[in-house]
Each structure stands twice: as C-alpha cells, then as structure tokens.
Amino acid sequence: MNYDFYNGEVLLIDKPLTWSSFQAVNKIKHAIKQHPSLIVEGHKIKPKVGHAGTLDPLATGLLIVCTGKKTKTINELMGMEKEYTGTFLLGSTTPCFDLEKPVDHVFPTDHITDLMIKNAAVQFMGIQQQVPPIYSAVFINGKRAYEYARAGEEAEIKSREVEIKEFEITGIHMPTVSFRIVCSKGTYIRSLARDFGLSLESGAHLTSLRRTRIGSFHVKDAVTPQKFSEMFQPPSADSANE
C-alpha cells in the first residue's frame, strides 16, 4: 500500500487493552519514520502525528491517527459521534468508575429487574448534563482532574452537555449488563456507568469498553499498532528465500 505521511494520512488503529493512546501513537510514529515518503530531496522530514480522541488504557477499539497535513482535520474528527460496546457491573462502584481502581462501595441488586434495566437505558436517551469522572483529563483551573484525584485534593468538576443518541441493552446476566451506545463528543461512558447505577438505586462501574465507530470510520477496518508496524519491517531472510 502506498502512503504519503507528509501530505497526510488518516490511519485506523485498533488500540489493544492496557495500551494508552499515547503508546499507540508512538508505535505508529516509530513505524513510519523510515518511510520513503518522508525523504524529500535527500532530507528526512518529520511529519506531525496525532490522534482524534483518547481511549483509556482499559478500553480497546478504534483510534484514528492522523499524519502530516491531515492533522488539521483532527478537531473535525473529534466532533463526530462515537459508538461503543461494553459492560457495566451492577452493585458496586470504584473511585474512577472503571476497573483501574478497586471497589470502594457495594450496593444491593436484588430489587433490580430486567425491565428496570431496559427502562433506565431509555431514560438516558437524548441531550443531558453529565459530570466527568475525577480521574479524567478534563482541565480544572489549569490542572488535569486526575492530578487533583491522585493528590487526594478536592476539586469541583462542572457538568457538560452530552447527547446519548442510542442506548441498547444487548445482554443481561446479573450483575453484568452489556450495552451498545451511540453518543456525542465528550461523553464519558464511565460517568454513564455511575449514573446508570444510581438510577437503579444501586451502584455500577464500567468493566469493559470497546469503541467500534467514529463517524463513518469503523473498527472492522482498523489494524493493531503491531500489525501496522509489521507492514514497514523489511522481510526476514527466511521469507525472502521462500
């Protein structure tokens, strides 16, 4: 496949579990740095490389990486709607609303029925105010929210307007609830897990998350950072002799 990383490419990457978005982008940078399109009149040029929307380390799925002049489209790409699949665990919460921290509170779930779960999902449809997690990268007075959280300091996080366009319950195996969500930019699925548990007079936290789509870009068309890197490695002596 022919690439022009200087004039710009939009790369679809399937971010693995436990990788940060920063690690995934660095893997892509390392893979493309020797590409012929970056040699201009005998000089190596270093294109810009950035991603359109961070994924937490415990989330997998579509990460759009832009290079060169295509980095100018990052804000546009970030504004597109997102689709996710994943699971909530009812009956317990964590400080970060996912599995990064241990459970801090346990709640009853015996009163929760399948109908209550499905009705709760309907209630979250539409435009609403959502408070991001304290363990997040939102800015509060010039500092990231997670910096306050890690220092044990109190910080007020303002709510923001988000839109849940689709919220489908795809499976209920108590206390685990599987879902598919289509939402606007800026929506925190971890916060939705917290609010979902509260709406059921219980607690909940996010136990898995996969981003499957950004706008018209789909994870089925993406490759892992490792697979992308292998495309640019010279063939081994054994494969060359086959």
98 is catalytic: no
* Euclidean distance between CA atoms 22 and 92, whole angstroms: 30
User: 30 and 229 in contact (C-beta within 8 Å)?
Assistant: yes
* Euclidean distance between CA atoms 187 and 185, whole angstroms: 6
User: 35 and 5 in contact (C-beta within 8 Å)?
Assistant: yes
Q: Which of 4, 14, 56, 98 is catalytic?
A: 56
CA distances from 200 to 113, 118, 155 (A): 9, 11, 27
CA distances from 193 to 57, 86, 164, 173 (A): 17, 10, 13, 16
Cα 27–chain centre separation: 17
Q: Which residues are catalytic?
A: 56
